[in-house]
Amino acid sequence: MFMKNCWYVAGWSHEVEADGLMARTICGKRLVFWRDEAGAIHALDDRCCHRGAPLSIGRKEGDNVRCMYHGFLFNTAGACIEIPGQSQIPPKAHVRSYAVVERHRWIWLWMGDAAAADESLIPDTHWLDDPDWACTKPGRLHYDVNYQLVNDNLLDFSHLSYVHPNTLGGSEEYAQLRSKIERLPRGLRITRWFMDRPAAPFVAKLLAAKGMTGNVDRWNNYDFLLPGVLIMDSGFAPAGQGAEKGNREGGIEFRHCQVVTPETENTCHYFFAQPRNFDKDKLEVSEALYTSILAAFEEDRAIITSQAENIAADPSFEPVACGLDSALGQFRWLIEQQIKQEAQAEAAAQQEGAANTPAQRARPTAVAG
């Protein structure tokens, strides 16, 4: 099961072209995305209400989408507005529409009731298109695992020493650290400092070019928000100058933006980019960082995929919990609680609706005595 009343990243803005249709599965729902004539993005169930053909292999006509099986035409609200050769439109000729917001290069999708979509819950990722920050090119990976396993990976950075020794990690001392974990209204805040140690391999050359060849103070501080959004303040500064107290002079900073979006129960999407505050006009730095980060994320995908295959091979396997699992345990609990609350609210609404049907209202009230 998946959360519904939250914003999922459905893709990058550039993936929905002006004249094209994009098909993507989110939370088990096949969806079609397109832009209207003004450039705004819309999303419908990718299934014509007539015979079930995919609308994503249809045709965009102005603001609307036409099914290319029998020609049903749907507007941005999902209503059928034309059936070739037929003047009357059946009342049920409708496809579900979804609330969509395009913000800072990401397409945010609300999977619950569109009327209840709360844009204030969209996390701030302005670094992705902020002119004061340079950004790597947008990335996307596809995982053949349940999205919770990818969330788990992002919630415990002790794996950097072992999964990424030659990319993101470096010294095994990093795994000895314990993060500070704080509860947020819709997620967790995780703080991790690694003081007076050699820089991670993926930035060593960048730091050397700035004259930083000695040990550094490193930080990985991030919010991990429902349903799976990581926004991280990370960086490296000369050791001992007080970066942990706010003095980052001469250092380099990143604002990593990463999102895990469930596709099905056993697959998910992973979107990522790394804004930075240095060498903003150097394309070669962006390319080098993207290559390094992608290599590291492929290392993640390899170990997580192997993990998923191993777990699937023995359904009786029960993980042994330890102190490293505090953040991921709390985050899984947050997801579980919201899913439970949504199910309870939905059941209550259904009961209320059933009580208000004409048949129920017509029933005589029992009289005691």
Amino acid, res. 75: N
pLDDT at 361: 56
> Token match 């192997």: residue?
306
pLDDT at 250: 85
Q: Which residue spans within 226-364 are E strands per DSSP?
A: 229-238, 252-264, 267-273, 275-276
pLDDT in tens, 259-306: 999 999 999 999 999 999 999 999 999 999 999 999 999 999 999 999
DSSP strand pairing (216-225 vs 193-197): antiparallel
Q: Which of 219, 236, 245, 237 is nearest to 157 (CA)?
A: 219
pLDDT at 49: 98
Give the mean pLDDT of the chain. 92
pLDDT over threshold 60, residue 367: no
pTM: 0.91
pLDDT over threshold 70, residue 201: yes
Tokens of 311: 């777990």
Helix (H) or strand (E) holding 148: helix 147-154
Peptide bond into 227 cis (omega under 30): yes
Helix (H) or strand (E) holding 163: helix 160-163
What's the rounded Cα separation, in Å, for the pair 72 and 84?
A: 7
Cα end-to-end span (Å), the chain: 48
Q: Which of 142-151, 152-161, 195-204, 239-248 has the lowest mean pLDDT?
A: 195-204
Which residue ranges form the domains of the chain, and what is each CATH number? Answer: 7-121 (2.102.10.10), 126-314+322-331 (3.90.380.10)
Helix (H) or strand (E) holding 74: strand 73-74
pLDDT in tens, 203-258: 888 888 888 888 899 999 999 999 999 999 999 999 999 999 999 988 899 999 99
What's the rounded Cα separation, in Å, for the pair 104 and 124?
A: 9
Average confidence (pLDDT) over 29-46: 98
What's the rounded Cα separation, in Å, for the pair 220 and 14?
A: 29
